Chains A and B, each alone.
Chain A
Amino acid sequence: QVTLRESGPALVKPTQTLTLTCTFSGFSLSTSGMCVSWIRQAPGKALEWLARIDWDDDKHYSTSLKTRLTISKDTSKNQVVLTMTNMDPVDTATYYCAREVVTFLDYWGQGTLVTVSA
């Protein structure tokens, strides 16, 4: 059974760095073809793809956010970490992690709401 769960702070201040952790089970990120992505949804807005890390440690980022994002994995802990620097109120959103396999996102976490406010 595949599960993913996001964790991190519910509230961050402007200019701070956000660190989110995706803890998963039911698959291994060392298996060829496995990837984990981060997606967010700001209130009233569409889904926005942020980043992806692959089984071979290849990393992919949103063009508009790539200077602020870093994605990494700890295969032994079944975790993927996303950091986003210089947080702004417009970054207030629900952040999801999801497994991508064979080009589609088949399992998602329930999401974690992050509010950026002083």
Chain B
Amino acid sequence: DIQMTQSPSSLSASVGDSVAIACRASQTIRTYLNWFQHKPGKAPKLLIFAASSLQSGVPSRFSGSGSGTDFTLTISSLQPEDFATYYCQQSYTTPRTFGQGTKVEIK
């Protein structure tokens, strides 16, 4: 199975800050990388697919980059509604695998 490793596991930031979350795959996944936002009691929400494509309806402050094994999710100018846990997921092959998550908390 392809292992997905995110860093950091958690971070504290203030409204208006820019944050970056890293995701590394254990082997190349080309650009088959998706990012999800998950809030307690809610369904996960797709933010970015194919490493850098913004899902319809997602604010442009979210962006993704990377290819091969290293990827980044960037949130520019954090908003109160952005405090959540973020997951990367590879869709290069099955079984699909998720990273362990990065919790973004309010400083």
Contacts and interface: CB of A to CB of B under 8 A. Distances in A.
Contact of B89 (A49, A61, A62): A49
A103 interface: yes
A41 B43 CA distance: 11
A48 interface: yes
B34 interface: yes
Contacts of A41: 38
Given A46-B87, A63-B1, A104 B101 contact: no
B50 A104 contact: yes
B84 to A, nearest CB: 13
Given A103-B49, A103-B91, A104-B49, A47 B1 contact: no
B96 A46 contact: no
A116 to B, nearest CB: 20
Interface in B12-34: 32, 34
Contact of B46 (A37, A46, A105): A105
Interface stretch (A22-30, A85-93, A107-115): A107-115
Contact of B95 (A46, A47, A60, A110): A60
Interface in A36-71: 37, 39, 41, 46-49, 52, 60-63
Given A46-B100, A47-B101, A49-B98, A108 B43 contact: yes
B8 interface: no
Contacts of A111: 43
A96 B89 CA distance: 15
Interface of B: 1, 32, 34, 36, 38, 42-46, 49-50, 55, 87, 89, 91, 94-101
Complex A-B, nearest 7 residue pairs according to Cβ-Cβ distance, in ascending order: A108-B43, A60-B94, A103-B91, A104-B49, A49-B96, A47-B98, A46-B100
